[in-house]
Amino acid sequence: MNESQSTHEQIREFVTPIAQRMGIHRFSDEESLINSGIMGSLEFFRLVSFLEETFSVTIADEEIVAENFDSIAKINCFVMSKLTLDREPQS
């Protein structure tokens, strides 16, 4: 993971070119990536791969839901929770 960039910045940097290819040049962190047409199924597949590789997390199929992936803000919260869980000592 690039230590000079926050998790949020790295996620936004990944999503922004996808949005631009769809003709969307401005969007908020809370905007729905699905409803706005920014992300389709192929883009979500790429996003999950990006998150797993960049942040060294494992994302289960059942975690790929709108609650976790509908916006940049939700994706950031989800990744941060995964990183926190990975750092907790195992009992």
Q: What one-letter code names the amino acid at 16?
A: T
What is the SS3 assignment for 91? coil
Contact 86, 1 (CB under 8 A): no
Contact 75, 51 (CB under 8 A): yes
Tokens representing residue 48 in the block: 């999950």
pTM: 0.87
Q: Per-residue pLDDT tens, the chain, 91 aa: give them.
A: 444 479 999 999 999 999 999 999 999 999 999 999 999 989 999 999 999 999 999 999 999 999 999 999 999 999 999 998 766 555 5
Q: How far apart are CA 68 and CA 1, in angstroms?
A: 20
Which domains, ranges and CATH numbers included, belong to the chain? 7-87 (1.10.1200.10)
